[in-house]
Copies of this chain bind each other. A is one copy, B any other.
Amino acid sequence: MPNITKLTVRYAETDKMGVVHHAVYPVWFEVARTDYIKAIGMSYAKMEEDGVMLPVVGITCRYRQPARYDDEITVVTKITRLNAARIEFSYEALLPDGEAACEGTSSHAFVDAETFKPINFAKRCPEFFSVIEKCAKQDLGEE
């Protein structure tokens, strides 16, 4: 089940073109990702305390329509890839009229918070992994 995050465009997020600056979308996607993880009963803040981090290894953004100050934005987030070493989220930031402002993805590695070394997340956190795996299957329409 894709997760829905609502946010309102901040003045500081606009640039002299009068629209949201393109580097703001990865920040929104991060907010949406935190939200997704919370929605499935987990917490990214707690994951980090438990010694697992999800550094971003890659992002892509395609910009469709400009978003403007005070627009209410809906971010639709889903998992589009998952294995024990990596996870990929996909995002759609929608304008108030439902048009896409930006579509993007972020890829993450599961690493140890101390050593920054890759870990096998399925082994390190089997319960969390099985919850995420189930969500991923739903998002991918495999279940």
Residues of A within 8 A of B (CB): 8, 10-12, 14-19, 21-24, 26-27, 30-31, 34, 43-45, 48, 53, 55-63, 66, 68-70, 116
Contact = CB atoms under 8 A, between A and B. Distances in A.
**How many copies of this chain sit in the oligomeric assembly?**
4
B21 A12 contact: yes
Q: Is the interface of A mostly helix, strand, loop or mixed?
A: mixed
22 contacts: A8-B31, A10-B31, A11-B15, A11-B34, A12-B21, A12-B23, A12-B27, A14-B15, A14-B16, A16-B68, A16-B69, A17-B53, A17-B55, A22-B56, A23-B23, A23-B24, A23-B30, A44-B70, A45-B70, A57-B63, A58-B61, A59-B59
